[in-house]
Chains A and B, each alone.
Chain A
Amino acid sequence: MNTLIIVVFIIGYVLIALEHPIKINKTATAILTGVVCWTLFVFMEPSPVLLNSKAFTDFKDILSIERTEGEIAATPTDEIHKEFVSYELNEHLAAIAQILFFLLGAMTIVELVDAHRGFRYITDRIQTRNPQTLLWIVCFVTFFLSAILDNLTTSIVMVSLIRKLIPDKEMRLTFAGMIVIAANAGGAWTPIGDVTTTMLWIGGQVSTAAIMASLFIPSLICLLVPVIVLGFRLKGKTLQIAEPPHTTSEVKGGRLMLFLGVGALVSVPVFKTLTHLPPYLGMLCGLGILWVVSEVLHSGLDDVAKKNYTVAGALSRVDVPSVLFFLGILLAVGSLESMQLLNQFAAYLDRTLGDQRIIITLIGVMSAIVDNVPLVAASMGMYSLATYPTDHMIWEYLAYCAGTGGSILIIGSAAGVAVMGMEKVDFIWYLKKISVLALLGYLGGALVYVITHNVNT
């Protein structure tokens, strides 16, 4: 039965990776995989490994609070197994829901600021005509923007900017590739910048201050190496002058919404530190405030004109399919975790590869091919917090590797896929021109992290 579930999981995974050729949306596949895995788990005969695992004995301890020893002994193992499955599913759902409501809130805030054209106050300031200077500016703006916003939005904002600034197609593609690298690198070092780092933060594996202190320099290196290499190539080239960006009309309150939106996002970690409540509540609080402000701001407009600038309008543009994709894939990974399969896999990896740093580096490279969210979820299930406490090296290194490894291939990250869609970046073109740069940056940053943390410990 274990084998069957693994087969289902792998088939699901393959179908998700083949989303485009087979033309089945990956969200549908992910949802079905998640549900089928749990259904099989309920019906399966519990394996001896599962029955003797710590999770299962812990569950029996919980049962013994409400029932007497005799009652538990009288219940058939089958019944206890079913209850165990429900209990585990409930635990996973609580963990998953925290991540999804967090994401939903963050995405809505960003959409709302964008609807007010708030990001134009940043992008309008970039006016230089020197390609080298422009590369540095674009990369650094992307890097810091994606530390606050999600990688996807950042790359969309920045790519639409370079469309206005760079008419030359070949040059623009190079810039687009660098935006992908910068967005992924920038997301890795903050708890709110990237889904995988956020997952580790919400799960309690990393803390805000520590992750920023340890990963800032590696992430920066990960970006700097490609920028410097590419800078040499761009030397002496000139940029064709683009048409002056035609100004689309400003929206009332754009500046205010930008401040409030960024303020709301940045204050989520502060909220967590002050109240000890989970981060998604902070995010929802920020969303509530922004929502009220946007309604008050446009109270003069009639309902139809208002629609574009309200949260209701923003919510209809939020990427809900992604949210459901995460729900499906995280449920599927959760089922493997509850079956204790991930533990066993981690033990197997430890025996064969030995060093965890090698394992995690490989996980990062793998995230260029498969989605990094389930990879991180699986790693969180593989290694227990009891053995590897909060801010342990493996968590921080995992945040770095899973966050930046996706840049190696264009399909390896949400940012890459968005850019591919917007600029029609070719898979092979990216492989030839950008992949090597991204790989150098990835390994450079990884090396810096490993060296600095060997000295400390």
Chain B
Amino acid sequence: MELLIVAVFVAGYILIALEHPIRINKTATALLTGVICWTIFMVSGPTESLLHSTEYSELAQKSHATVSGAGADMEVHREYVIHSLREHLAEIAEILFFLMGAMTIVELVDSHRGFKLITDRIRTKNPKTLLWVICWVTFILSAILDNLTTTIVMVSLTRKLVANRDTRLFFAGLIVVAANAGGAWSPIGDVTTTMLWIGGQITASSIIKSLIIPSVVCMLVPLVFLSFTMKGTLGEGKTPGHDEKTPRTANLMLVVGVSALISVPVFKTLTHLPPYLGMMLGLGVLWVVSEIVNPDLDESEKKHFTAVHALSRIDMPSVLFFLGILLAVSSLQSMHLLQDFAVYLNDTVGDNRIIITLIGMLSAIVDNVPLVAASMGMYSMDVYPTDHLIWEYLAYCAGTGGSLLVIGSAAGVAAMGMEKIDFIWYVKKITLLAAVGYFAGAATYLFLTHI
């Protein structure tokens, strides 16, 4: 039955990767995979290796005191499955409510056109200067916002500033690299780093300290290279966008929204409560502000600026996708399959650093969320405590490795959709740059932690 579950998991994974050709939304596949894995696990009884694990035998000892006779083993097994499912659900819910809060805050600021205040300031006409400005803004913005939103905001900006399509594609490619690099080093910038932070594998201050230089290197290498080789002009743009009216509340919402996001780590440090509560606090405050900030508008005008409207635009399918895929991975973890796999990898590959570098590259093909979830299950916190090298390095690799292919990260997929970037074009023009950046950053990290 271990084989069966692994087969279901792999089949689900393949269907998710083939989302576009088979035209089945990956969220549907992920949900079904998650449910089926747990169902098989529940009905089929414990495996050999599970029976010998310490958690299982502890539970069995406790339960055998109360239940006995025929069917007692199944009773213990059920209890174990329900118990571990509950544990995992609590962890998953922490991540999902965190994400929902963050996405709503960003959406709410965006509906007040708060980000225009930043993007409107970029006015240069020199392609190289513009490339530098855009990459740095993306890098810093994506450390605070999620990568997806940052990419969407920045790509729509380049649309207004860069009329020449060939040049614009290079900009879009580098925005993907910069967004992924910028997300990796901050606990609120990227789903995978956030997962490690919520799970207690890393702390806010030390991840920022250790990863900021490698992440900068990861972006700078392609940027420097491209600013020497990139040819072509910006083209005659239209007069940059003063077409939309900025609501007078934009300023206030931007400030409140960004401070809400930034103060989440502060809230965690002060109260020791999980980060999603801090995010919810920020959302609640922003929500109230958004309701009282426009008292003179009537209901229908106000509607666009409310959190209710923002909530209808957040990416709920992604939230459910994470729910499904994290449930599936956690079933493998509860069966102790991931731990067994980690032992196997250790025996064959040896060095953790090599394994994690490979995980990063793998994340260009498969989604990085389950990869990180699996790694979190493979290595126990008892052996690798908080802020251990492997967690920080994992945050870096899983966060930036996705830039190697355009389909490798949420940012890439968004840019692909917006600018119709071709998969092959990206492989030819950007992948090599991204790879050099990825390895340069990795080398920097390993070098810095050695001294």
Q: Which residues of A contact B (CB under 8 A)?
A: 23-25, 27-29, 31-32, 34-36, 38-39, 42-43, 65, 82, 85-86, 89-91, 93-94, 96-98, 100-101, 104, 275-278, 281-282, 284-285, 287-289, 291-292, 295-296, 299, 310-312, 315-318, 320-321, 324, 327-328, 331
Contacts and interface: CB of A to CB of B under 8 A. Distances in A.
A31 B31 contact: no
A299 B25 CA distance: 11
27 contacts: A23-B292, A24-B292, A27-B287, A28-B287, A28-B288, A28-B307, A29-B288, A85-B273, A94-B86, A97-B90, A101-B93, A277-B39, A285-B32, A288-B32, A292-B29, A295-B24, A295-B28, A311-B317, A315-B316, A316-B312, A320-B314, A320-B316, A324-B100, A327-B280, A328-B280, A328-B284, A331-B277
Contacts of A317: 312
B311 interface: yes
Given A86-B273, A327-B97, A299 B23 contact: yes
A175 to B, nearest CB: 27
A312 to B, nearest CB: 5
Nearest to B281: A35
Contacts of B278: 35
A93 B94 contact: yes
B38 A312 contact: no
B291 A34 contact: no
Candidate in A29, A31, A91, A328 with the most chain B CB atoms within 10 angstroms = A31
B225 to A, nearest CB: 36
Interface string B370-391: 0000000000000000000000
Given A89-B273, A276-B82, A291-B31, A318 B316 contact: yes
The 5 A-B residue pairs with the shortest CB-CB distance, nearest first, are A97-B93, A291-B28, A28-B287, A288-B32, A32-B284
A317 B309 CA distance: 10
B61 to A, nearest CB: 11
A32 B311 contact: no
Nearest to A315: B316
Tell which of A34, A65, A97, A278 has the most Cβ of chain B within 10 Å.
A97
B85 A278 contact: yes
Which of A28, A91, A284 lies at the interface centre, i.e. has the most chain B CB atoms within 10 A of its CB?
Answer: A28
Nearest to A284: B31
A287 B31 contact: yes
B311 A38 contact: no
B348 interface: no
Interface in B246-274: 271-274
B422 interface: no
Interface string B63-104: 000000000000000100110011101101110010010000
B288 A32 contact: yes
Contact of A321 (B23, B281, B284, B311): B311
A288 B90 contact: no
B312 A25 contact: no
B25 A291 contact: yes
Interface residues of B, number: 58
Interface in B308-328: 308, 311-314, 316-317, 320, 323-324, 327
B355 interface: no
Contact of B35 (A27, A38, A82, A288): A288
A275 B85 contact: no
Contact of B39 (A91, A275, A312, A327): A275
B360 interface: no
Nearest to B32: A288
B272 A281 contact: no
A284 B312 contact: no
B283 interface: yes
Given A312-B25, A316-B313, A277 B85 contact: yes
Contacts of B85: 277-278
Given A275-B43, A324-B100, A93 B93 contact: yes
B311 A284 contact: no
Contacts of B81: 277
B30 to A, nearest CB: 8
Contacts, number: 164
Nearest to B90: A94
A41 B406 CA distance: 46
Nearest to B28: A291
A35 B280 contact: yes
A276 B278 CA distance: 34
Contact of B82 (A28, A38, A278): A278
B273 A276 contact: no
A311 B27 contact: yes
B273 A97 contact: no
A39 to B, nearest CB: 5
B264 to A, nearest CB: 12
Most buried by B among A29, A277, A285, A292: A277
B285 interface: yes
Contacts of A90: 90, 274
B185 to A, nearest CB: 27
B89 A94 contact: yes
Contacts of A43: 271
B27 A35 contact: no
A339 B291 CA distance: 32
A321 B303 CA distance: 14
B317 A39 contact: no
A107 B271 CA distance: 34
Contacts of B25: 291, 295, 310-312
A31 B93 contact: no
B291 A312 contact: no
A275 B23 CA distance: 31
B306 interface: yes
B153 interface: no
B222 interface: no
Given A25-B306, A35-B280, A38-B273, A311 B292 contact: no
Contact of A296 (B24, B35, B272, B273): B24
A112 to B, nearest CB: 11
A334 to B, nearest CB: 12
Contacts of B280: 31, 34-35, 327-328
Given A275-B43, A328-B284, 7 more contacts: A32-B288, A82-B272, A86-B273, A89-B277, A104-B320, A287-B31, A295-B23
A31 B90 contact: no
Contacts of A285: 31-32, 35-36, 39
A29 to B, nearest CB: 8
Contacts of A321: 307-308, 311
Interface in B81-133: 81-82, 85-87, 89-90, 92-94, 97, 100
Contacts of B327: 281
Given A28-B307, A291-B31, A312-B25, A23 B291 contact: yes
B327 to A, nearest CB: 8
A106 to B, nearest CB: 13
A39 B24 contact: no
B214 interface: no
Contacts of B291: 23-25, 28
A282 B92 CA distance: 17
A35 B292 contact: no
A284 B283 CA distance: 27
Contact of B27 (A98, A277, A278, A291): A291
Contacts of B78: 276
A199 to B, nearest CB: 16
Nearest to A34: B280
B441 to A, nearest CB: 34
Contact of B311 (A98, A101, A275, A324): A324
Nearest to A271: B39
A94 B87 CA distance: 7
A386 to B, nearest CB: 14
A277 B38 contact: yes
Interface string B14-31: 000000000111011101
Contacts of A85: 273
